[in-house]
Amino acid sequence: MLLTEDKREKRRYERKPHDASLEYFRAGRSESMLPAASIDISEEGIGLVSDCPLEPGQVIIFKSKENPSILKLAIVQWSMKAGDKYRAGLMFI
């Protein structure tokens, strides 16, 4: 394999920038809605930033502050600390 070979990510759906305020809670926990912000979105999932750590495999129920009557379900695929926040990739379910 040549070092100059293109190694772009191969995803089924293109990610697009998405900047929206969200609220979520982790399924199975009794907690208030937590704030988050979206970073990008695709037909398959969403990237977000939160003050709270998320763990792969957790089910998240979230809503947009702009349209709070619609709830979405997603499962955390990955999460990492990013400064004093947490960045996560979620897949819609």
Q: Where are the domains of the chain?
A: 17-92
The pLDDT value given to residue 9: 58
What is the C-alpha to C-alpha distance for residues 81 and 18, in angstroms, rounded to an integer? 20
Rg value, the chain, Cα: 15
Bigger pLDDT: 4 or 12?
A: 12
Tokens 């763990």 belong to residue: 55
Q: Is 31 exposed, middle or buried (0-12, 13-18, 19+ CB in 10 A)?
A: exposed
| Burial 4-26, CB ≥16 within 10 A → b, else e | eeeeeeeeeeebeeeeeebebbb
The string of pLDDT tens digits covering residues 16-64 is: 999 999 999 988 888 889 999 999 999 999 999 999 999 999 999 999 8
Q: What pTM, to 2 d.p., does this model score?
A: 0.81
pLDDT of residue 3: 46
Q: State the fold for domain 17-92.
A: Thrombin, subunit H (2.40.10)
Going from the C-alpha of 80 to that of each of 27, 29, 30, the distances in angstroms are: 20, 21, 23
Supply the DSSP symbol for 14: -
For the stretch 51-74, pLDDT in tens is 999 999 999 999 988 888 889 999
